[in-house]
Amino acid sequence: MVRRRQGALLSSFSIDRASATPVYRQLEEQIRSAILKGDLQRGVRLPSSRILAAELGLARPTVVQVLEALQFEGYLEARQGAGTFVAHDIPKALPTFDLHSTQASVDNIQLAGLSRIGTSIQSVPAGLGAATYAPFLPNFPAFDAFPWANWRKCWTSPGANTASDMGYSDPAGFLPLRRCIAQYLGLQRGDACDPDQIIITSGAHAAFSFAAMLLADPGDKVWLENPGPVAVRNLFKVLGLDVVDIGSDNEGMMVADAIGKAPDARLVFAMPSRQHPLGTTMSLPRRLALLSWAQSRAAWIIEDDYDSEFRYVGRPLASIRSIDTAGRVIYVGTFSKALYPAIRIGYLVLPPQLVGVFRDLSSLVSRSVPVEMQAALARFIDGGHFVTHLRRTRELYAERSAAFLHIARQELGEHVEMSAPTSGMNVLAWLKPGVDDRRIHATAESAGVRSYPLSDYGGGSLARGGLLLGFTGVSAERMREPLARLGDVLDQQALSR
């Protein structure tokens, strides 16, 4: 039982260690519920993380993770030197109902009468799902540097949300936004295109889905780097494609090996700007070799321009699409990294001959991304806010990358090997051979440190494990403590071997 010490009375909190719900989730939900019901009033001070941890019998890092997550959601606020308080501006809650969870039983139901795709979906994990923030969650942007005031003005500026914005939109997307994207690509990426070649999608993953559905049939081979993005691998499998694992080295995709393995592939998924999760950049000779093969075989290349906005050393290489003379490249971009994941706006840049069929599929499958979101983003780009934000975050991320590496090398010692990233939002920390990265990931998560294990990205077993750690969402001043916790996890693992 938690008594009244230096803060609010939280005597109703309890942890059920026999529950399938993780202990951090139980505590998080109980604090959130107490705030929404008014049991914890606005402005009330909470006990310290040390006291909460001691009286609930939890590890202090677990409690710190919960408090940080609720701060991020807006339920709590930290005041330097004073403690943690219930926020004055509490997020509005949806109506609550007395519902009984059926998740466990639903997960175990074997459905009959599903299509081939429906049956396939049951055999692969759908994806990462919603992720509770904690350091060092990969691909998490710096919300502390986001220009919220300018973004809100773009939603509420004169002329916003007109009657035309409330109707059905062009299935290709809001034309002013497509014009802004075309101008941005031409000026910032040296990749000129016509706005009519652009299709707006609900994030990059929807763009991948469109391309795979329209350009390959079940049984067709598709090249995919291993390790590579697990959600893309699962998408291709569900659509019935034959995924061919391709190696990757410090020059990116090993094109010659891929041609030797599957010269008749119909589709290629390439991440030339920054391969995920390895972080390598595809060399120009390999880009040219890939294009030459695709042109000779009438194959298609899906170019995921992953993390191209954040490059810290030198100038980015031109996209593959910009040097494609035969119209074999489908370029995919997204705003989820440069702005924030929940924006769910991505786009395709298509060869002219494919625009019509992609537009028709968009009309059939999704109709359009919400127009008011597209219109706000168009105003944000047109007003110069997007490029300004990119410039500032690029500088900030370079600073945070350097700080992360400096502190990590002190706190993690010889347990990991890391190289300074030349681009992107994450660092890959290679573990020693034989160390189980999934086990380290799970133990670190219990200590309030987030990561993605490299093994989750592999089509099969990998020779060596690692942890993907995001450095962009954590200020340099707040990196040392969670890195020290990760160091403790690695120390304990080393002692147990």
Give the DSSP H or E segment for 221: strand 221-225
pLDDT at 94: 44
Q: How far apart are CA 344 and CA 327, in angstroms?
A: 27
**What residues does 199 pair with on adjacent strands?**
348
Structure token pair of residue 411: 């706190």
Q: Are 267 and 300 in contact (CB under 8 A)?
A: yes
pLDDT at 96: 46
The DSSP symbol for 465 reads -
Provide the whole-model pTM.
0.78
Q: How far apart are CA 350 and CA 173, in angstroms?
A: 14
With CA atoms as reference, report the closest residue to 301 among 253, 263, 259, 266: 266
Q: How far apart are CA 479 and CA 471, in angstroms?
A: 8
Please give the full DSSP string across 112-158, using - where no structure is assigned.
SS--HHHHHHTTS----------TT-TT---GGG--HHHHHHHHHST
Q: How far apart are CA 293 and CA 426, in angstroms?
A: 31
Structure token pair of residue 389: 């934000």
Q: Are 325 and 175 in contact (CB under 8 A)?
A: no
What is the maximal distance between C-alpha atoms in the chain? 74
Q: In terms of DSSP H, where are the helices of 189-297? A: 204-215, 230-238, 255-261, 284-297
pLDDT at 128: 54
| Burial class of residue 62 in the structure, from the number of CB atoms within 10 Å of its CB (0-12 exposed, 13-18 middle, 19+ buried) | buried
| Burial class of residue 129 in the structure, from the number of CB atoms within 10 Å of its CB (0-12 exposed, 13-18 middle, 19+ buried) | exposed
Give the DSSP H or E segment for 302: strand 300-304
Q: Provide the CA 214 distance to its chain's centre, in angstroms.
A: 25
Q: How far apart are CA 180 and CA 216, in angstroms?
A: 30
pLDDT at 320: 95
Q: How far apart are CA 475 and CA 101, in angstroms?
A: 37
Structure token pair of residue 472: 């962009």
pLDDT at 373: 92
Q: How far apart are CA 376 and CA 148, in angstroms?
A: 13
Q: Please count the residues of the chain.
A: 497
pLDDT at 3: 37
Residue type at 113 in one-letter notation: G
Residue numbers of the chain with a pLDDT score lower than 70: 1-12, 91-111, 125-131, 158-167, 497
Q: How far apart are CA 185 and CA 449, in angstroms?
A: 36
With CA atoms as reference, report the closest residue to 328 among 376, 291, 359, 360: 291
Q: How far apart are CA 430 and CA 411, in angstroms?
A: 15
**Count of CB atoms situated within 10 Å of the CB of 137:** 20
pLDDT at 145: 93
Q: What is the pLDDT of residues 140-185, one digit of tens each?
A: 999 999 999 999 999 887 666 666 666 678 999 999 999 999 999 9
Q: What is the pLDDT of residues 4-25, one digit of tens each?
A: 434 445 566 888 877 778 888 8
Q: How far apart are CA 482 and CA 408, in angstroms?
A: 10
**What residues does 137 pair with on adjacent strands?**
none
| Burial class of residue 337 in the structure, from the number of CB atoms within 10 Å of its CB (0-12 exposed, 13-18 middle, 19+ buried) | buried
pLDDT at 212: 98
Q: Reduce the DSSP state of residue 202 to 3 states and report it.
A: coil
| Burial class of residue 216 in the structure, from the number of CB atoms within 10 Å of its CB (0-12 exposed, 13-18 middle, 19+ buried) | buried
Structure token pair of residue 161: 């949300």
> What is the C-alpha radius of gyration for the chain, rounded to an integer number of angstroms?
24
pLDDT at 306: 85
